[in-house]
Chain A
Amino acid sequence: MIRIANAQGFWGDSLEAPLEQLRGGPIDYLTLDYLAEVTMSILQKQYARDPQAGYARDFPQMIERGAKEIVQRGVKVVANAGGVNPETCGEAVAAALARAGYQARMKIGVVTGDNILDRLDDLVARGIELRNMDTGEPLAAVRERVRSANAYLGAFPIAEALGRGAQIVVTGRCSDVALSLGPSIHEFGWKRDDWDRLAAGVVGGHVVECGAQATGGNCQVDWETMPDLAGIGYPILEAEADGRFAITKHPGTGGRVTVAGVTEQLVYEIGDPRAYITPDVVADFTTIQLKQAGPDRVQFWGIQGRPATHFYKVSISYAAGFKAAGTMTYGWPDAYKKAKMADQILRTRLERLELKFDAIHSEYVGANACHGELLSGEPSPDLAEVTLRVGVRGSDAAAIERFTREIAPLALNGPPVVTYPASGKPKVEEVVAYWPALIPKSEVTARVQVREA
């Protein structure tokens, strides 16, 4: 049995969780997931400005803080912190180890090959159209505006790096579940056609990939009595060679590992449950068996998988105009009515200015912003306050900029009992949109480098 601890569900998750996973009890592997879709385009932008940037800088800092435990306890670390610059991230990790006094104490593995940004024109020229999986459009429609393009690699390159002695493995874009599946493949010698075991590894990886969402965080069942959420333990996957596994957490930590919470995570961001497609296997979530096997322990078995497809998924990001959103808060009485009137005034002024937007969207935070008017019902005139939030989107940056100047005047020239953020006018943001596509696996070659730290 091996113990794989996840300590990062996205870039921006708890900075303390990795150290707590290292210190809270025995683990064999520590995995950290840093890459959301939006992250790749941000990192690509940073890399364009500075060829020494483009990776998750939190990761080397975390390695420096946790170096003692990593070295003394022999914990292996797998992270997709490499972003669009895994090699430099690997060098930063080596430097972090040196700063912590552990120079040349271990090998670092770096997985590359996912980044296909420089090859897009060549691919398209050879008939690989990278059509949008949702709309069917060929990439040519947005080619000039593409910011990043990465294939989701699988778990075998990670397993290879571990097999060649790497104690820390840094990847670029790979499937989120690969971070924990790679260690199981390495430790148990799972083969490329061990479909059921690989599927079990995928399901285990899916449960832990969002960190504390598997251990009581964001759980709707019994949330009011959830113990010590301030000290919530992050998930630990106890994997067996035959594919069975348990989900648990360190003793004494907060949160709860229950069938209810783990099941919420199982159905999180899935499509057809019979075909959860990953680069390594197609997992069938309708075969999952699980039960509570003690306090803070859920046992899994029976998971089946089918052969992987011949494609990698590609995530392409492209510039898609600009947006901004501004807020004004209206107080009791009739807060909603006042906010509604302010929205009408604002829209009339925008029309008179003849500003063109692709979309304008108004929300009433506190009344119905999340669920909409139909489901939320008529807002009470006694609501203590309602925040009007108006957003606009469009290709004309100047129009969006002009919009940001039209919010604050409402403080003096609109309905009464109003307050607004002291931070001033809203910021204009560039919109980065996503283009999901498929690429034949034969077009992408993962490369694994392993070197002394």
Chain B
Amino acid sequence: MSRIQLREIAHARSGDKGDCANIGLIALRPEDYPALVTQVTAERVKQHFRELCRGRVERFELPNLNALNFLLYEALDGGGTVSLRTDAQGKTLSAALLRMEIEI
């Protein structure tokens, strides 16, 4: 077992719907997808983003794409046009998720 950052086995893209950010997390190789499913849980993602995300985190599985989709509620300081953040639409949150460490 070794501890690695998600960036070594996955890529991601993120965006916004109102004050909710979505992050799609995709395994680079299909054989790594099960590790994402077991370790990158909604609870861990909420903990990971506790500074930025005030609401809950919801997770959906897309096994056909070796992907997970996360919805981070109340994560954009009010949403695209209201937010005072540089990243008002959550475009860089994809990479922020890839900082998370998992065991492989």
Contact = CB atoms under 8 A, between A and B. Distances in A.
Interface string B71-83: 1000001111110
Contacts, number: 129
B62 A267 contact: yes
Given A220-B12, A264-B12, A265-B13, A434 B79 contact: yes
A375 interface: yes
Q: By DSSP majority rule, is chain B's interface helix, strand, loop, or mixed?
A: mixed
Contact of B96 (A363, A365, A371, A433): A371
Contacts of A290: 65
Contacts of B22: 267-271
B63 interface: yes
Given A220-B12, A370-B92, A370-B96, A267 B67 contact: yes
Contacts of A320: 82
A325 B87 CA distance: 13
Nearest to B50: A374
A374 B52 CA distance: 9
B11 A267 contact: no
A264 B84 CA distance: 27
B84 A288 contact: no
B31 interface: no
A433 B84 contact: no
B48 A220 contact: no
B87 A370 contact: yes
13 contacts: A38-B80, A266-B65, A268-B22, A268-B24, A270-B69, A286-B62, A360-B84, A369-B85, A370-B87, A374-B50, A374-B51, A433-B81, A436-B18
Given A260-B28, A268-B15, A369-B85, 17 more contacts: A37-B80, A38-B81, A220-B11, A221-B11, A221-B28, A260-B26, A264-B26, A267-B65, A267-B69, A269-B22, A272-B60, A286-B62, A359-B78, A360-B84, A370-B86, A375-B96, A433-B78
Interface of B: 11-20, 22, 24-26, 28, 48, 50-52, 60-65, 67, 69, 71, 77-82, 84-87, 92-96, 99
